[in-house]
Structure 1
Amino acid sequence: MITWMQRHKKWLVITIWISTIAFVGAGFVGWGSYDYGKSSGAVAVVGDRKISVEEYQREYSSLYGQYARAYGNQFNQEMAKKIGLPEAAVNLAIQKNLILSYADDLGLTVTDEDIAKELVKMPAFIKDGKFDKELYIRVLTQNGTTAVAYEKSLKRDLLLQKVESLFDINPSSNEVNNLSKLLFAQDDLSIQILDPKSIKIDYDDTILRDYWNINKIKYMSTNSYELAISKLPFVTVSPTEDELKEHYSKFKTDYKKEDGKIKSFEEAKDDMIKVLSIKATKKDALKKYLALKKDEMKFDATTVIFEDKLPFSAENINEIKTATVGDVLKPFEGTDGFSIVKLIKKIDPKPLAFAMAKDMVKADYLDIKRSEKINNIAKEAMKDFKGEHLGFVSRTSIDKIKGLNPNEAYGFLNKLFMSKEKEGRIDLGEKVVLYKINSSKLGTDTTTQEKSVKDILLRLQKEELMTSLIKNLENRYEVTSSLDNKE
Structure 2
Amino acid sequence: MITWMQRHRKYLVITIWISTIAFIGAGFMGWGQYSYGDKAGAVAKVGDVSITSGELQETYGALFQQYNQLFQGKFDEKQAKQFGLQRQALRQLVNQALVLNLAKSYGLIVTDDELLRTISSQAMFAKNGGFDKTLYEELLKSNHKTKKEYEANLRRELLIQKTLYLLTSGNRSLETKTLSSAMGIADKLNYKILSPNMIALSADETALKGYWEKNKKEFKTEPSYTLSIVRQSPVSVNPSEKEISDYYAANHQLLKSPEGKLLDLAQARGMIITALNDAATEKEALRLYIDFKKGALKSDVTVQKQTLSASNSPFDPSITKEISALSTQKPFLKPRKVGNEYIVVKLDSYNPSVIKTFEEAKQEVNGLYLAEAKKAKLQELAQNSYKTFQGNTTDFITHTDAAKLSGLSTTEASEFLTKLFASKQKQGFVTLESGNVILYNVLEQKLLQDTKVADETTVAKLKGNLLDGGLIKALESKYPVEIYVEGI
TM-score computed with the length of structure 2 as normaliser: 0.56
State the Cα deviation string for residues 396-440 of structure 1 (Å, max 9, x = none).
222221111111111211222222333322222221212222332
**AA at the equivalent of 1:195:** S
Residue of structure 2 equivalent to 1:149: none
**AA at the equivalent of 2:226:** E
State the Cα deviation string for residues 98-155 of structure 1 (Å, max 9, x = none).
9xxx9xxxxxxxxxxxxxxxxxxxxxxxxxxxxxxxxxxxxxxxxxxxxxxxxxxxxx
SS of 1:287's equivalent in the other structure is: helix
Residues 366-405 of structure 1 aligned to structure 2 (within 5 Å):
366-405=370-409
Residue of structure 2 equivalent to 1:423: 427
**AA at the equivalent of 2:279:** K
Distance in 1, matches of 2:281 and 2:421, equals 61
Q: From the superposition, tell whether residues 202 and 91 of structure 1 become closer, same or farther in structure 2 (CA, over 3 Å).
A: closer
Residue of structure 1 equivalent to 2:412: 408
Residue 51 (structure 2) pairs with residue 51 (structure 1): no
SS of 1:389's equivalent in the other structure is: strand
Conserved in 2, the CA contact under 8 Å of 1:63 and 1:89?
A: no
Conserved in 2, the CA contact under 8 Å of 1:194 and 1:374?
A: yes
Residue of structure 2 equivalent to 1:225: 225
Conserved in 1, the CA contact under 8 Å of 2:310 and 2:320?
A: no
Distance in 2, matches of 1:191 and 1:397, equals 14
**AA at the equivalent of 2:288:** K
Distance in 2, matches of 1:57 and 1:258, equals 27
Conserved in 2, the CA contact under 8 Å of 1:190 and 1:391?
A: no
Conserved in 2, the CA contact under 8 Å of 1:191 and 1:388?
A: yes
Distance in 2, matches of 1:205 and 1:48, equals 58
SS of 1:51's equivalent in the other structure is: helix
Residue of structure 2 equivalent to 1:333: 337
Aligned-residue offset at 1:287? 1.6
**AA at the equivalent of 2:202:** D
Residue of structure 2 equivalent to 1:362: 366
Residue of structure 2 equivalent to 1:303: 306
Q: From the superposition, tell whether residues 49 and 85 of structure 1 become closer, same or farther in structure 2 (CA, over 3 Å).
A: closer
Distance in 2, matches of 1:355 and 1:319, equals 30
**AA at the equivalent of 1:197:** N
Conserved in 1, the CA contact under 8 Å of 2:326 and 2:347?
A: no
Residue of structure 2 equivalent to 1:201: 201
Give percent identity, aligned residues only. Answer: 24
Q: From the superposition, tell whether residues 350 and 251 of structure 1 become closer, same or farther in structure 2 (CA, over 3 Å).
A: same
Distance in 2, matches of 1:182 and 1:419, equals 12
Residue of structure 2 equivalent to 1:251: 251
Q: From the superposition, tell whether residues 213 and 337 of structure 1 become closer, same or farther in structure 2 (CA, over 3 Å).
A: farther
Aligned-residue offset at 1:327? 3.4
Distance in 1, matches of 2:253 and 2:464, equals 38
Aligned-residue offset at 1:186? 0.6
Q: From the superposition, tell whether residues 277 and 416 of structure 1 become closer, same or farther in structure 2 (CA, over 3 Å).
A: farther
State the Cα deviation string for residues 220-262 of structure 1 (Å, max 9, x = none).
1122222111233555677677655532431345568999x77
Distance in 1, matches of 2:313 and 2:370, equals 30
**AA at the equivalent of 2:290:** L
Distance in 1, matches of 2:14 and 2:457, equals 24
Could you tell me which of 439, 442, 459 is aligned with 1:434? 439
Distance in 2, matches of 1:372 and 1:60, equals 49
**AA at the equivalent of 1:435:** Y
Aligned residues: 348
Q: From the superposition, tell whether residues 427 and 62 of structure 1 become closer, same or farther in structure 2 (CA, over 3 Å).
A: farther
Q: From the superposition, tell whether residues 421 and 282 of structure 1 become closer, same or farther in structure 2 (CA, over 3 Å).
A: farther
Distance in 1, matches of 2:318 and 2:249, equals 33
Distance in 1, matches of 2:209 and 2:463, equals 58
Conserved in 2, the CA contact under 8 Å of 1:326 and 1:344?
A: no
Structure showing greater radius of gyration is 1
SS of 1:420's equivalent in the other structure is: coil
Distance in 1, matches of 2:351 and 2:459, equals 57
Distance in 1, matches of 2:153 and 2:15, equals 13
Distance in 1, matches of 2:455 and 2:210, equals 60
Conserved in 2, the CA contact under 8 Å of 1:56 and 1:90?
A: no
Instruction: Please say which of residues 190-199 and 329-338 is displaced more in the overlay.
Output: 329-338
SS of 1:343's equivalent in the other structure is: strand
Q: From the superposition, tell whether residues 327 and 423 of structure 1 become closer, same or farther in structure 2 (CA, over 3 Å).
A: same
**AA at the equivalent of 2:408:** L
Q: From the superposition, tell whether residues 53 and 374 of structure 1 become closer, same or farther in structure 2 (CA, over 3 Å).
A: closer
Conserved in 2, the CA contact under 8 Å of 1:49 and 1:97?
A: no
Residue of structure 2 equivalent to 1:124: none
Distance in 2, matches of 1:63 and 1:192, equals 52
Distance in 1, matches of 2:217 and 2:211, equals 11
Residue of structure 2 equivalent to 1:190: 190
SS of 1:364's equivalent in the other structure is: helix
Distance in 2, matches of 1:80 and 1:410, equals 40
State the Cα deviation string for residues 158-189 of structure 1 (Å, max 9, x = none).
xxxxxxxxx9x9997x9877643421321121
Aligned-residue offset at 1:381? 0.8
- Residue segments in structure 2 that go unaligned for 5+ positions in a row: 1-12, 23-106, 128-138, 466-488
Distance in 2, matches of 1:461 and 1:351, equals 43
Aligned-residue offset at 1:345? 1.8
SS of 1:309's equivalent in the other structure is: coil
**AA at the equivalent of 1:338:** Y
Conserved in 2, the CA contact under 8 Å of 1:333 and 1:339?
A: yes
**AA at the equivalent of 1:433:** I
Distance in 1, matches of 2:443 and 2:455, equals 30
State the Cα deviation string for residues 54-105 of structure 1 (Å, max 9, x = none).
423223337999xxxxxxxxxx976999xx986685468779999xxx9xxx
Residue 289 (structure 2) pairs with residue 289 (structure 1): yes
